[in-house]
Amino acid sequence: MEKLERYEPLVEEFDAFLEACQRTLPSVVRVNTIKATPERAKAALDEEGVGWTDREWSETVLELDTDNPGSTWASYHGWIHGQEEVSAIPAEVLGPEPGEVVWDACAAPGSKTTQLSALMDDEGLVVANDNNLGRLSALRFNTERLGVTNTAVTNTDSRNFSLKPFDFDAFDKALVDVPCSCEGTIRKNPTALDDWTMDHVRSVAGVQKGILRRAVQATKEGGTVVYSTCTFAPEENEAVLDYVLGEEDCRLVEFDLGLDSRPGVTEFEGEEYDESVRKAKRFYPHHNDTGGFFCAKLEVGE
Amino acid sequence: MSDQTNPTNDGQQFDRLPATADDREVEGRATRKEVLDWWDQRFEIPPETFEEFTFWEKGKGKIWILHGDIASPLRIEALGMKFLRTRQEHWKPTTNAVQRFGREATKNVVEVTREEARRFVRGEDQELDWDGDWGYLVVSHELAGGLEPLGVGLYVHGELRSPVPKGRQRDL
**B26-38 pLDDT, tens per residue?**
999 999 999 999 9
Question: What is the ipTM, given to two decimal places?
Answer: 0.96
**A118-162 pLDDT, tens per residue?**
999 999 999 999 999 999 999 999 999 999 999 999 999 999 999
Note the pLDDT of residue A195. 86
Specify the 3-state DSSP secondary structure of A172: strand
Q: What residues in B contact A43, CB-CB < 8 Å?
A: 144-145
Mean pLDDT of B12-33: 97
Rounded Cα distance, B140 and B122, in Å: 15
Q: What residues in B contact A150, CB-CB < 8 Å?
A: 66-68, 80
The pTM of the full predicted model, rounded to 2 decimals, is 0.97
Percent of chain B with pLDDT over 70: 98
Whether residue B171 has pLDDT greater than 90 = yes
The chain-wide mean pLDDT, for chain B, equals: 96
Rounded Cα distance, B94 and B101, in Å: 11
Rounded Cα distance, A148 and B80, in Å: 7
**Contacts with B34 (C-beta within 8 Å, 6 or more apart), sequence order:** B21
Whether residue B3 has pLDDT greater than 80 = no
Residues A216-226 as b or e (16 or more Cβ within 10 Å = b): bbbbbeebbbb
Angle at Cα A60 formed by Cα A56 and Cα A64, nearest 5°? 80
Note the pLDDT of residue B4. 63
Q: What residues in A contact B121, CB-CB < 8 Å?
A: 76
Whether chain A has a CB inside 8 Å of the CB on B94: the answer is yes
Note the pLDDT of residue B17. 98
> What is the layout of strands, in order, in the sheet containing A58-64?
A52-55, A58-64, A27-31, A80-82
Give catalytic residues of A, as residue numbers: 230
Whether chain B has a CB inside 8 Å of the CB on A278: the answer is no
Whether residue B1 has pLDDT greater than 60 = no
Does the CA dihedral B30-B32-B36-B39 come out positive or negative?
positive
* Inter-chain CB proximity B75 and A165 less than 8 Å: yes
Q: Confidence class of residue B6 from pLDDT cuts 50, 70 and 90?
A: confident
Positions of chain A with pLDDT lower than 50, given as ranges: none
* Inter-chain CB proximity B143 and A151 less than 8 Å: no
**B91-146 pLDDT, tens per residue?**
999 999 999 999 999 999 999 999 999 999 999 999 999 999 999 999 999 999 99
Rounded Cα distance, A207 and B72, in Å: 32
Kindly list the distances between the CA atom of residue A130 and the CA atoms of A127, A139, A176, A227, in Å, as whole numbers in the listed order: 10, 9, 11, 16
Note the pLDDT of residue A2. 86
Whether chain A has a CB inside 8 Å of the CB on B53: the answer is yes
